[in-house]
Amino acid sequence: MTDIPFLSLAIWIPILGGLLVLATGSDRNAPLARVLALAVSVAGFIVTIPLYTGFDASTSAMQFVELQSWIPRFNINYHLGVDGISVLFLLLNAFITIMVVMAGWQVIQERVAQYMAAFLIMSGLMNGIFSALDGVLFYVFFEASLIPLYLVIGIWGGANRVYAAIKFFLYTLFGSLLMLIALLYLFMESGGSFSILEWHKLPLAIEPQVLIFLAFLVAFGVKVPMWPVHTWLPDAHVEAPTGGSVVLAAIALKLGAYGFLRFSMPIVPDAAHQLAPVVIALSLIAVVYIGFVALVQTDMKKLVAYSSISHMGFVTLGFFMFNQLGIEGALVQMISHGFVSGAMFLCIGVLYDRVHSRQIADYGGVVHTMPKFAAFFMLFAMANSGLPATSGFVGEFMIVLGAVKYNFWVAFAAATTLILGAAYTLWMYKRVVFGKVANSHVAELEDINAREFAFLGILALCVLAMGLYPFPFTEVMHASVDELLRHVAVSKL
Amino acid sequence: MNFVVPDFYPAAAEIFVAVMALVIMLASTFARSIARGLAYFLTQATLIAAAFITIYTMQGEVTYTFSNLFVSDLMGDFLKLMIYFSMAVALLYGRGYLADRNIDKPEYYLLALLMTLGMMVMVTANHMLPLYIGLEMMSLALYTMVAFDRDSARSTEAAMKYFVLGALASGLLLYGMSMVYGATGTLEFEGIAQSVYQQVANETVLMFGLVFLVAGISFKLGVVPFHMWVPDVYQGAPTAVTLVIATAPKLAAFAMAVRLLIWGLFDLAEHWQTMLMFVAVGSIVLGNLAAIAQQNMKRMLAYSGISHMGFVVLGLLAGVVNGDGHFALNAYSSAMFYAVAYVIMSLASFGMIILLSRVGFEAENIDDFKGLNKRSPWFALMMMFVMFSMAGIPFFIGFFAKLSVLQAVVAAGYFWLAVVAVVMSVIGAFYYLRVVKVMYFDAPDDISPIQAPAELRVLLSANGLAIAALGLAPQMLMSLCAYALLASR
């Protein structure tokens, strides 16, 4: 391994690049801002590639570790590192950022520099979240990433954007502040350390464990989001511009789920075991109930938003069964959902840019005017409903298998998602794409241009590749998930 | 009887500022034609020179002089430097504002300097008497400054309110001091501490005295239940004066709290901590809730200031747990860090109001910030830094201030206090977010470009960037606070 600090590069290239883009200023320089943003996002992706190629899949230890004292007064360190659980998310994040920059290329005509800069800075901050090994560092990135998304929803969002932006911010802030108290408690208990890896080894009595678990549950549960604290998500998704929705679905939701694996389960394993039934129950409610809610939506973005909640319920379900298939399936599902939900929102964005409506009822017969688009949309809709040979299938199948091991009825309830998911996605697809040409707007539609073809095409390749050959993904996470399960099985009491 | 000449050296800065105040008074009388500019520049020069003198005369160890009335220690020196700094910045921000309204008379700067001197005396007092004299010197200068725009009915009303309530609070404080004197037989902090430690003082009298002292301190910090003056005075005073009230005096009041409660009455910590607990919770809850309802920016910042001071008090009350003062230094330095961080943020927030104000127009409503991102993206960004910092969002200094205070509170075992504080912070975030919303999401009513003197623009930008830079690297300021307190004890 070389000494190049790839993790720092992955964090700071997008942030500093974002500031550079911001410096291009007014919309007179918009073309420059776009090109610069694309260059920065590509550079940001390139520096994450060595993280995968140089990754040693045979060990569960943290890799690419960087450790530097940051605030010695409280023993806070700039401590970065990735393991098999987190490394893929950095790649996913950097990759999705390129898609977002491309998707906003023509659509965003106002305050272009600020728009691009917000996404780039957010991308850097999220890389920070996935690689931070210090509690405060994690928290700092976790909170700071709210700011750009708040601005993105509020500035470029739809009619009700202010409500959605503030609701999004306050919900997440509430959860994370409770987590802050838990972090401070752990700091005190561990005798003055904010190191997450130290906390993994810290013995704790059951009572504080339960309280800490609940604090984390609120923080990460809001972010995932789990039922019943999910209501901010549909609002945020509907009001956000396409790029915002993509990042929100593809990356931001994963932060909460990642938090469960990095914090809740290893730091307070006994509480996690004890309260697992609660989490599983909440997850099943999300899967089944939210699945039904998705069925009745008339707004395409809302439908996909609810489908995201349902899919993320599947992820938390996978985690808390404490078996290899469940956790790995959930991780695969997270990556796949990153591609698929991102692609779904991009597809809806393509339609919205042309017709300026998200209502299913305003469409019909799109296939007649946009055949290429309809093909892509078909593929992503299939992936969203978990069709074999798409990435959506792999994760869901693994989780259902894991659930059968855990409890038959849980598996039974979880498996309904395969039906529900297909129902709401394909029904929407049918109403939007098939049938007679519904109105003059649809009749005047132009098919996707080269730029749109490019990003949908790349995503389609990813979805298919991951569905047909998921081994490169599961291989990386194997050792780390093994170690996590071993660790969680040992009581800390 | 021998007459001993006291050692003037440790008090060089105070003496210098006092002399300069007289010089400015004379100079502005004799050089009438250039008096305004002259007074301003002399005041700024005095503040800068005083900073150099303070640094030059800084001593590693604690030194007493003037028969133990005066103490020179690192905490005092550090706070004095912060006071010069915030006064200098506040005067610079306010200069154009005062000139536009034709109230930039030389007396204003003279009063500001006398007020600085009062705060310096408070910060370095080792005895109740100089403490009280310094406090009165500061307060009387402030009352006058609030009323400085004498044709404005609102300013006059605010000054009157401030004066009556302030005089009452001074009375309470003095009454408390007299009781402590009655119980312990001394006015010197060291002697009081000794007498309390040996339990020779009359407990009942001491306790009554303590209640009055806490009341007086609470008034000067502007915390619940002695907060009523804060919103009215902040709103009524000319913004340039509000800027002064909201910054340096908080540091002086903090020093007063440290000297009285920690230096003097540390062994009664259990008792005053309980009182401060009500004060802190009340301030954080009321400050944040009331701020939501405000349409006026200055009132909103006033309530937000109340809640911030609640956090400072939170740090002060987390020092001693079950008689164990092990974490005391940690807690007090967190409180001090919070106070300093608040002053830096507060300067920028009121500076922004001044920036947007013009002749005949006070940008004091939240709606006056509408669409600032379209008018001036740079200053909208700066204001956003300030607002997120005040809301306690990283990477800004406000977050680390909250972090260090909460850390002290959790270490002291007061989990419920920490939970109350963070829940109220979420509620508080709402009104800061609203300002960001107004700036970024709304269209401007007024698209005229911002007109402001270059020095205001530059310094305000530096102030905004400092909030972000200190958030990225808070270590130095944090350890300075900790070191200053450690070396003073």
d(CA A254, CA A225): 9
A150 in reach of chain B (CB within 8 A): yes
List, for residues A141-157, the tens digit of each pLDDT value.
998 888 888 888 888 87
A212 in reach of chain B (CB within 8 A): no
β-pairing verdict for A76-82 and B63-65? unpaired
More confident residue, A490 or A130: A130
| Contact: A187, B407; criterion CB under 8 Å | yes
Mutation for A interface: B385, B410, B431, B480, most A CBs within 10 A: B410
pTM confidence score: 0.91
Burial of B117 (0-12, 13-18, 19+ CB in 10 A): buried
β-pairing verdict for B63-65 and B70-72? antiparallel
Kind plus residue range of the DSSP H or E element containing A181: helix A161-189
Mutation for B interface: A26, A134, A173, A210, most B CBs within 10 A: A173
Both tokens of residue A257?
A: 């789920």
SS3 at position B231: helix
Contacts of B377 in chain A (CB under 8 A): 25, 114
B395-454 residues touching A, CB cutoff 8 A: 395, 399-400, 403-404, 406-407, 410-411, 415, 418-419, 422-423, 425-426, 429-430, 433-434, 436-437, 440-441
Question: In this predicted structure, what is the pLDDT of residue B345?
Answer: 93
Closest CA to A195 of A92, A90, A79: A79
Closest CA to A253 of A322, A184, A304: A304
pLDDT band of residue B139 (cuts 50, 70, 90) is very high
- Of A117-121, A368-372, B366-370, highest mean pLDDT: A117-121
Question: In this predicted structure, what is the pLDDT of residue B253?
Answer: 93
d(CA B138, CA B158): 17
Any idea of the CA torsion for A12, A17, A19, A20, to the nearest 10 degrees? Answer: 150
The nearest CA of chain A is from the CA of B360 a distance in Å of 30
Q: How far is CA B119 from CA B243, B341, B479, B489, in A?
A: 16, 18, 23, 21
Kind plus residue range of the DSSP H or E element containing B195: helix B189-197
d(CA A251, CA B8): 64
The shortest CB-CB distance from B441 to any of A162, A170, A178 is to: A162
* Listed range (A206-220, A384-398, A399-413, B315-329) with the worst mean pLDDT: B315-329
d(CA A150, CA B433): 9
Query: How much is the mean pLDDT over chain A?
Result: 86
B153 in reach of chain A (CB within 8 A): no
The shortest CB-CB distance from B425 to any of A25, A136, A177 is to: A177
β-pairing verdict for A76-82 and A63-71? antiparallel
**What value does the mean pLDDT take over residues B199-228?**
89
pLDDT band of residue B2 (cuts 50, 70, 90) is low
Contacts of A174 in chain B (CB under 8 A): 423, 426
| Contact: A140, B426; criterion CB under 8 Å | no
| Contact: B418, A181; criterion CB under 8 Å | yes
Q: What is the ipTM of this complex?
A: 0.88
List, for residues A415-461, the tens digit of each pLDDT value.
888 888 888 888 888 888 887 877 887 778 788 888 888 888 888 88
List, for residues B156-193, the tens digit of each pLDDT value.
999 999 999 999 999 999 999 999 998 888 888 888 88
B323 has pLDDT over 80: no
SS3 at position A54: coil
Q: Percentage of residues in chain A with pLDDT exceeding 90? A: 4
A300 in reach of chain B (CB within 8 A): no
B483 in reach of chain A (CB within 8 A): no
The nearest CA of chain B is from the CA of A140 a distance in Å of 5
B382 in reach of chain A (CB within 8 A): no
pLDDT band of residue A1 (cuts 50, 70, 90) is very low
Closest residue, chain B, to A154 (C-alpha)? B441
Both tokens of residue B410?
A: 């959790």
**What value does the mean pLDDT take over residues A169-184?**
87
d(CA A486, CA B16): 70
List, for residues B101-120, the tens digit of each pLDDT value.
888 888 899 999 999 999 99
Any idea of the CA torsion for B364, B365, B367, B371, to the nearest 10 degrees? Answer: 10
Both tokens of residue B12?
A: 């060089």
B66 in reach of chain A (CB within 8 A): no
d(CA B348, CA B351): 5
What residues pair up with A69 in beta bridges, in sequence order? A77
Helical segments of B147-188, H only = 153-184
| Contact: A174, B423; criterion CB under 8 Å | yes
The nearest CA of chain A is from the CA of B39 a distance in Å of 39
Length of chain B as a residue count? 489
pLDDT band of residue B306 (cuts 50, 70, 90) is very high
User: With left for phi above 0 and alpha for psi between -120 and 50, is residue A469 left, alpha or beta?
Assistant: beta
Closest residue, chain B, to A194 (C-alpha)? B407
**What value does the mean pLDDT take over residues A287-302?**
88
DSSP A260: I
In degrees and rounded to multiples of 5, residue A299 shows phi and psi of -105, 125
List, for residues A185-237, the tens digit of each pLDDT value.
888 888 888 888 888 888 888 888 898 999 999 889 888 888 888 888 888 88
The nearest CA of chain A is from the CA of B194 a distance in Å of 32
Contacts of A150 in chain B (CB under 8 A): 433, 436
Burial of A11 (0-12, 13-18, 19+ CB in 10 A): buried
Query: How much is the mean pLDDT over chain B?
Result: 88
pLDDT band of residue A321 (cuts 50, 70, 90) is confident
B328 has pLDDT over 50: yes
The nearest CA of chain B is from the CA of A390 a distance in Å of 39
Q: Which positions ≥6 away from A155 have C-beta within 8 Å?
A: A111, A114, A115, A161, B373, B440, B441
**Are the beta carbons of B143 and B163 closer than 8 angstroms?**
yes
d(CA A87, CA A65): 12
d(CA A336, CA A338): 5
d(CA B365, CA B363): 6
Question: In this predicted structure, what is the pLDDT of residue B212?
Answer: 93
**What value does the mean pLDDT take over residues B294-307?**
92
B472 in reach of chain A (CB within 8 A): no
Question: In this predicted structure, what is the pLDDT of residue B133?
Answer: 93
A173 in reach of chain B (CB within 8 A): yes
Which residue in this structure is represented by tokens 């989490």?
Answer: A279
Cβ count within 10 A of residue B60 = 8
d(CA A273, CA A182): 18
d(CA A16, CA A9): 10
Closest residue, chain A, to B436 (C-alpha)? A151
B32 has pLDDT over 80: no
Q: How far is CA B88 from CA B181, B345, B481, in A?
A: 37, 15, 21
List, for residues B408-466, the tens digit of each pLDDT value.
898 888 888 998 998 898 888 889 988 988 888 888 887 777 888 888 889 999 999 99
Closest CA to B15 of B65, B87, B62: B65
B225-244 residues touching A, CB cutoff 8 A: none
Q: How far is CA B60 from CA A25, A108, B73, B77, B330, in A?
A: 49, 59, 8, 11, 20
In degrees and rounded to multiples of 5, residue B319 shows phi and psi of -75, -50
**Are the beta carbons of A350 and A331 closer than 8 angstroms?**
no
Contacts of B399 in chain A (CB under 8 A): 140, 143
The nearest CA of chain A is from the CA of B124 a distance in Å of 26
Positive or negative torsion for Cα A93, A99, A101, A103: negative
**Are the beta carbons of B267 and B193 closer than 8 angstroms?**
yes
The nearest CA of chain B is from the CA of A58 a distance in Å of 36
Beta-carbon pairs below 8 A across chains A and B: 95
| Contact: A177, B395; criterion CB under 8 Å | no
